[in-house]
Amino acid sequence: MAIKGSLSEASLSDVIQMICTSKKTGCLSLTDGTNFGTIFIKEGRIALAKLTPHKRKIGDILLQMGKINEDQLHQAIEIQKSNRNKKLGAILIEIGAITTEDLIEPLRLQTEDALFTMLLWNSGFFSFEPNLSPPPDEVILDIPYEGLLIDSARRIDEWKEIEDKLPPNDTVLVRKKSVVQLDLTEEEKTVLNLIDGKRSFAEITSMSPLPTLETCKAIHVLFTAGLIDSIEPKREDVATKAKERYEVGLAFYKTGMYKEAIKELLRVIKLDPDEKRARFYLGLSYYRIGDLSSAIDQLSRLGESRSVLCNLAAAYFRSGELNESISILEKIRASEPDSLRVLAALGFLYFQKGEDEKSRDCFEAVRSKDPDHYLPYFYLPLLSIRRGNFDEALDHFRNAIEKFPSRAELRNNLAVLLEAMGKHREAEKVFREAINQDPFHPLVRKNFGTFYYNRNIIGAAREQFEAVEESARDWETNFKLANIMLKLGNRDEALRYYKIAHEQNPDDPIIARNIKILEHEEK
């Protein structure tokens, strides 16, 4: 079960301790509204932590540690451009630049820095999803959480002492000529060597092989000693900024934080209107929150790739524009006539539109290409019922149940058909088989209850209706429960169910009339 909350109400340190002391495994995702972080935990120990956008890039750390050279880093980056889901570290291992062991220390440094940064967040949200693991190409660490939290607490105290004395991230740092020879520590010399009059403060902290705090402390010392100065802020490269915000937006999307994803992806498009990946996920994010017109607007600008067209068709369908959805899928079908996914979707849409022959043709084509595909077995009997061919529908249902014996909805539909044909004893038997398969299926319970309700067997009807969870009951179920309670003489319960039904269907005059009568009787 997921654990969610606000960082303003529960500190990240407390959340990590709660998860780790319980020896849990999973992924802790969090955001401060601008940045996104993930902490993978395995059996109560820290396996990996990352920030999006990355404060410390693994390639820069390896380069400064001397594990790789510029040519190897450039080669790996070029390979990654054609395979964006591939981790840079995995690519460097594949081309023989480093070993898996070479990645351990940089990843530990990256993890410690990411955790340190996230512990500074005083507001935002977190969510822990159990049993989630890092991608298979990630190198997994095994760090006790206690030491990390203690060390991070110490570092936070030190950070607060220098935080206000550091320059903005985009400030370019330059060396000053000094006549005084100062005794610098090795860490301070390392940072001084990174200052070339071109790199910004953020770039230096990213490239440094030292932890972020140690790098910042060294920069503070160098400023205080008069060895470095700052010049006008460096204008951030638009492509780099867009890439960073895209990564944040994508991270928000993948964790279901769609409104936050929209905010970030709109920033990307403002920076780079031609960023198609950002526009694609922006469209999907709008789709996820139900803003279908915006989803259609964004996806319509992306050309006619298969993934774009499929999602565009789904958006048109949800917005009730069946003709547009069908038109798009038929366009895909013209180039991919054997696509089962497209044929099944068209069969469903033609069924919804009432074009039964076209629907039947699509589902028959799906079944002929894949005899184990479920949807033809669900819809073909329903199409036979529409044609009034009940015997054919019975044959379809029995074949479907033989093929998919665990599908309670097939038995439900067969029972409804048998009831309509006047075969009540057979219908009751099939309803019971469906209930035995899935005791919590709301539609089966509702239809079985209606079966008894129509025969005035109110005790059995009540039992079936009450077995439906309250949140899953529609207005008809609550209306029938109210009528049952009225017959049983329980007017208070009847009134309560009528009122629930009225909230769900306020335009029904019979419900409104019954409420008025019962309330008048109470007076």
Residue 243 or residue 306, greater confidence = 306
For residues 428-444, average pLDDT: 94
pLDDT digits (tens, 9 = 90+) for 20-57: 999 999 999 998 877 888 999 999 999 999 888 766 77
pLDDT tens figures, 270-283: 888 889 999 999 99
Q: Please write the tens of the pLDDT for every residue from 72-106.
A: 989 988 888 888 778 888 899 999 999 989 989 88
Residue 106 is assigned to a structural domain of this protein: yes
Identify whether residues 50 and 173 lie together within a single domain.
no
Residue 221 belongs to domain with CATH number: 1.10.10.10
Residue 42 belongs to what H/E stretch? strand 36-42
DSSP string, 82-140: T-TTS-HHHHHHHTTS--HHHHHHHHHHHHHHHHHHHHT--S-EEEEEET----TTSPP
Tens of pLDDT, residue by residue over 162-177, are 888 888 877 889 988 7
The residue with greater pLDDT, 210 or 399, is 399
259 within a domain of the structure (yes/no): no
Does residue 233 surpass a pLDDT of 70?
A: no
Asked whether residue 293 is assigned to any structural domain, the reply reads: no
Is the pLDDT assigned to residue 301 strictly greater than 60? yes
Q: Kindly state whether residues 193 and 70 are assigned to the same domain.
A: no
DSSP string across 200-223: BHHHHHHH-SS-HHHHHHHHHHHH
405 vs 237, higher pLDDT: 405
Contacts of 438 (CB under 8 A, 6+ apart): 408, 444
Q: Is residue 153's pLDDT more than 80? A: yes
323-328 mean pLDDT: 95
What is the number of domains present in the chain?
Answer: 3
> Does the pLDDT at position 370 exceed 90?
yes
Would 253 be classed as within a structural domain?
Answer: no
pLDDT at residue 237, rounded to an integer: 65
Contact 318, 286 (CB under 8 A): no
Q: Tell me the pLDDT of the chain averaged across its residues.
A: 90
Which of these three, 231, 250, 270, is where a domain ends?
Answer: 231
* Together in a domain, 77 and 148: yes
Same domain for 202 and 220, yes or no, is yes
**In the structure, what pLDDT confidence band is assigned to residue 341 with cuts at 50, 70 and 90?**
very high
- One domain for residues 86 and 15: yes
Asked if 148 and 41 sit in the same domain, the reply is: yes
Predicted local distance difference test score (pLDDT) of residue 47 = 93
Cα gap 265→267, rounded to integer Å: 5
Looking at residue 239, what is its pLDDT? 76
**Tell me, what's the pLDDT at 523?**
60
Q: Model confidence at 124, in pLDDT bands (50, 70, 90)? A: confident
User: Percent of the chain scored above 90 by pLDDT?
Assistant: 55
Residue ranges making up the domain that contains 176:
166-231
3-class SS of residue 36: strand
182 — pLDDT class (breaks 50, 70, 90)? confident
Distances (CA, A) of 319 to 291, 309, 316, 346, 424: 9, 15, 5, 16, 39
CA dihedral sign, ordered 478, 480, 485, 486: positive
Within-domain flag for 126 = yes
Ramachandran area for residue 177 (φ above 0: left; ψ -120 to 50: alpha; else beta): beta
Residue carrying structure tokens 């694609």: 280
| Rounded-to-integer distance, Cα 389 and Cα 395, Å | 10
Q: What is the mean pLDDT of residues 144-168?
A: 87
* Apex 198 CA angle, 192 and 202, nearest 5: 70
Residues 140 and 157 in one domain: yes
Domain boundary among 231, 249, 271: 231
Smallest Cα–Cα separation from 272: which of 249, 305, 295, 300?
A: 249
Separation of alpha carbons 392 and 102, rounded Å: 67
Residue with tokens 């206000």: 164
Examine the domain organization and report whether 188 and 124 are in the same domain: no
Q: What is the mean pLDDT of residues 415-440?
A: 95
Region of 152 (left: φ > 0; alpha: ψ -120 to 50; beta: rest) is: alpha
pLDDT tens string 441-498: 999 999 999 999 999 999 999 999 999 999 999 999 999 999 999 999 999 999 999 9
Q: Is residue 400 part of a domain?
A: no
The yes-or-no verdict on residue 522 having pLDDT over 70 is no
pLDDT of 236 > 60? The answer is no
Looking at the fold, whether 121 and 14 belong to one and the same domain comes out as yes
Pick the last residue of a domain from 161, 184, 214. 161
For residues 170 and 147, state if they share a domain.
no
Two tokens, residue 449: 């209850």
- The reply to whether 32 and 155 lie within a common domain is yes
Q: How does residue 285 score in pLDDT terms, banded at 50, 70 and 90?
A: very high
Residue 403 falls inside a structural domain = no
**CA–CA gap between residue 413 and residue 394 (Å, rounded):** 10
Q: How far apart are CA 346 and CA 39, in angstroms?
A: 42
According to DSSP, the β-strands at 45-52 and 125-130 are: unpaired
59 and 191 fall within a common domain:
no
